[in-house]
Amino acid sequence: MNKQKAVTFFEWSGSILAMIYALLIASNTGNEILGFSLLLLSALLFGAWGYLDKRWAFFALQFFYAASAIIGLVRWS
């Protein structure tokens, strides 16, 4: 997979997972573990995108989102 295809994959898959995460958490239907798991995966995908595309502020922001996901997983499990 070339760099541009990888960036596109990370961008789209991270975005879709983040949207699903937001809907799961907002729906308050007991799917918090799944939601925070998706947030963590989304942060990892976005982090890979930021690293490959040399978007260092965006890359750094993903550490915050990953930490938020881990906190959510710990608190809801």
Let me know: does 77 contact 40? Beta carbons within 8 Å: no
Tens of pLDDT, residue by residue over 42-53, are 999 999 999 999
Residues 18-39: what's their mean pLDDT?
96
Q: Mark residue 64 as left, alpha or beta (left: phi above 0; alpha: psi -120 to 50; beta: remaining).
A: alpha
Overall number of domains in the chain: 1
Structure tokens at 10: 């990370």
- Name the residue range of residue 72's domain: 3-76
Tens-digit pLDDT profile for residues 13-28: 999 999 999 999 999 9
Whether the per-residue pLDDT at 1 is higher than 80: the answer is: no
Note if the pTM is more than 0.85: yes
Query: Which residues have CB under 8 Å from 49's CB, separation 6+?
Result: 7, 10, 11, 14, 55, 58
